[in-house]
Each structure stands twice: as C-alpha cells, then as structure tokens.
C-alpha cells in the first residue's frame, strides 16, 4: 500500500522531508569527497632541505676530559657499557688502539637515560669514499629515536638538514664546523627529553643544544618528533631510553664518550 505525501499528517511529512534532505546532503558530500585529490606518496627527497647552504667555519681546539660526576661510556678499553641494539648481545664493533669502529648493526647503551649532557668524539674514515650521504655516515640517536647526524661533509655537499650537526631531516646546523677526514670531531649534546600527559599525548617537546667542535650548531632546538627517513615526525609516548650509535655501512670511529644525567 502506498501513500501520497499529501495524505500524510504534518509530522510524518516533516520526517520524510528531513530524511530526503539528509540523503541529498550525504550524496552531495560523497560526490565532493570523491573529487578531493589524494596527497602524493611521500619519498625521502620531500624532507630534504638543500637551501640555504650552511656556512662553513674553522673550529678551534676543545678540552674534552670527563668530569668527576660523569658516567664513562667508553674509556678506550672495551664496550662493556654497550650492547647490540637487536638481540641485546655483546656490542659487535671492534675496539683497537683506544677507539672503536662501526661494525655490523647498531649498538645501544645498556643504561637508559632521560635528560643528559653527552660528550663523544668521532672521526670520518681516513680514506675518502662516496659523496653526499654515502660518505662517513653514522648517527647518534638520543633516547634511541632522535638523531643527531654524523657525516663527513667536509667539502662534501648534501642536503642541509642531513649534514653533520643537524637534527636529521628536521633542523640544519647553524654552521658547518666539520674537520678534515682523519681529524677528530667532538659533539657536546645537552638534551631535555619530551614529557607526555597521562593519556599519552605530548605535554612538552624534546629540546637539544649541540656543540660541534666547541661551536654551537643547535641552540635549544625543539624536536618535532622521532627521526623519520621518509615522512613527517610524530611523537609517541615513551620513557627513559638508551643512546644508540648507527651502523650506516661506513667505518666511522668513536672515542672518549661520557654522559652526565641532568
């Protein structure tokens, strides 16, 4: 049995009219949604900043002896304070003549940290090979997720937010304080960890100051989130976490590493 709208009472007319209007609105919205173009798939180049090029300077000398309250993470003897990041076994990087060289796989400190002052010294490979990101590449991951880039960019152009002293793929260094290959570089990193609310959302972002060979290259820089090679960073709640050194396939050397908890 069918009914003409004219035969219906005013209340039912109103209900049907509202339903019809709703369906029309939904159809219109659906049509509009289908017309919205999809964003392009992200690729690494989308987060590389090549301009402006970072100014080159010549650094001075640096005094880097560990203070009395520091935790010595590498004293030139062994990697007893470190472990393999994957699996947690012994750190597989070779130690010789007071330095250790990047080996197979990332390594992490056995101890977790929150806020700290970190000192380390590193040297690009003596034999210059590769260019851009393929030359003397490693990284220092604060709390295992926020990378300060290690790279031989002495007379080696790369994207500005990917060179030594950068917060990788986020903030370029203020200047290029890189020494020549086979010369030792120092990093002094003052780091404040992010804080999160009880529901896991961000309360305050992480911040970092970096001195490269005694020169400020990051000045209380706000971190946008964990390091991402492809895509944009996004914070996820976490607690204390280790320092991680990256294996990027280049024989970068490290020595004299210590940390002070703040």
pLDDT, tens digit (0-9, with 9 covering 90-100), for 80-133: 999 999 999 999 999 999 999 999 999 999 999 999 999 999 999 888 888 888
Instruction: Please state, in angstroms and rounded to a whole number, the distance separating the CA atoms of residues 253 and 121.
Output: 8
Residue position matching structure tokens 């804080």: 195
Question: For residue 154, what pLDDT is reported?
Answer: 92
Q: Assess whether 136 and 23 both reside in one domain.
A: no
Quick one: tokens of 65? 């002896």
For residue 206, the tally of other CB atoms under 10 A from its CB is 23
Q: Assess whether 63 and 110 both reside in one domain.
A: yes
Q: Assess whether 130 and 15 both reside in one domain.
A: no
Q: Assess whether 20 and 142 both reside in one domain.
A: no
User: Residue 122 half-sphere exposure, CB side, CA atoms within 13 Å?
Assistant: 26
Q: Assess whether 115 and 217 both reside in one domain.
A: yes
Q: Residue 207, exposed/middle/buried by CB under 10 A (0-12, 13-18, 19+)? A: middle
**Structural domain containing residue 29:** 5-35
Q: Assess whether 100 and 24 both reside in one domain.
A: no
Q: How many domains does the chain have?
A: 2
CATH number for the domain including 213?
2.60.120.560
pLDDT tens, per residue, the chain with 262 residues: 444 544 444 444 444 444 444 544 544 555 455 677 778 888 887 788 688 888 886 776 776 889 999 999 999 999 999 999 999 999 999 999 999 999 999 999 999 999 999 999 999 988 888 888 878 899 999 999 999 999 999 999 999 999 999 999 999 999 999 999 889 999 999 999 999 999 999 999 999 999 999 999 999 999 999 999 999 999 999 999 999 999 999 999 999 999 999 9
Q: Assess whether 13 and 108 both reside in one domain.
A: no
Instruction: Please state, in angstroms and rounded to a whole number, the distance separating the CA atoms of residues 106 and 236.
Output: 22
Instruction: Please state, in angstroms and rounded to a whole number, the distance separating the CA atoms of residues 126 and 235.
Output: 37
Residue position matching structure tokens 């152009």: 157
Q: Assess whether 30 and 67 both reside in one domain.
A: no
Q: Which residues pair with 183 in a beta bridge?
A: none
Quick one: tokens of 7? 């035969």
pTM (2 decimals)? 0.80
For residue 88, the tally of other CB atoms under 10 A from its CB is 9
How many angstroms separate the Cα of 8 from the Cα of each of 17, 45, 210? 12, 64, 76
Q: Assess whether 235 and 139 both reside in one domain.
A: yes
Q: Assess whether 24 and 89 both reside in one domain.
A: no
Q: Assess whether 141 and 246 both reside in one domain.
A: yes
Q: Assess whether 204 and 139 both reside in one domain.
A: yes
């Amino acid at each position: 049995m069918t009914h003409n709208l004219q035969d219906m009472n005013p209340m039912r007319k109103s209900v049907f009219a509202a339903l019809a209007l709703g369906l029309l609105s939904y159809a219109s919205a659906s049509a509009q949604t289908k017309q919205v173009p999809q964003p392009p798939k992200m690729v690494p180049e989308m987060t590389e900043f090549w301009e402006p090029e970072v100014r080159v300077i010549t650094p001075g000398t640096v005094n880097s002896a560990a203070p009395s309250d520091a935790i010595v993470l590498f004293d030139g003897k062994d990697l007893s304070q470190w472990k393999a990041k994957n699996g947690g076994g012994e750190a597989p990087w070779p130690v010789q003549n007071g330095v250790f060289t990047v080996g197979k796989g990332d390594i992490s400190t056995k101890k977790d940290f929150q806020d700290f002052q970190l000192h380390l010294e590193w040297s690009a490979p003596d034999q210059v090979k590769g260019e851009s990101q393929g030359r003397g590449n490693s990284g220092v991951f604060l709390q295992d997720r926020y990378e300060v880039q290690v790279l031989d960019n002495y007379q080696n152009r790369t994207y500005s937010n990917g060179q030594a002293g950068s917060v990788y793929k986020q903030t370029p260094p203020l200047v290029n304080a890189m020494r020549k290959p086979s010369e030792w570089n120092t990093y002094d990193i003052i780091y404040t960890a992010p804080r999160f609310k009880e529901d896991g959302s961000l309360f305050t972002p992480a911040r970092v100051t970096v001195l490269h060979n005694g020169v400020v290259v990051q000045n209380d820089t706000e971190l946008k989130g964990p390091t991402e090679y492809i895509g944009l960073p996004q914070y996820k709640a976490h607690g204390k976490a280790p320092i991680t050194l990256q294996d990027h396939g280049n024989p970068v050397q490290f020595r004299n590493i210590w940390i002070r908890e703040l």
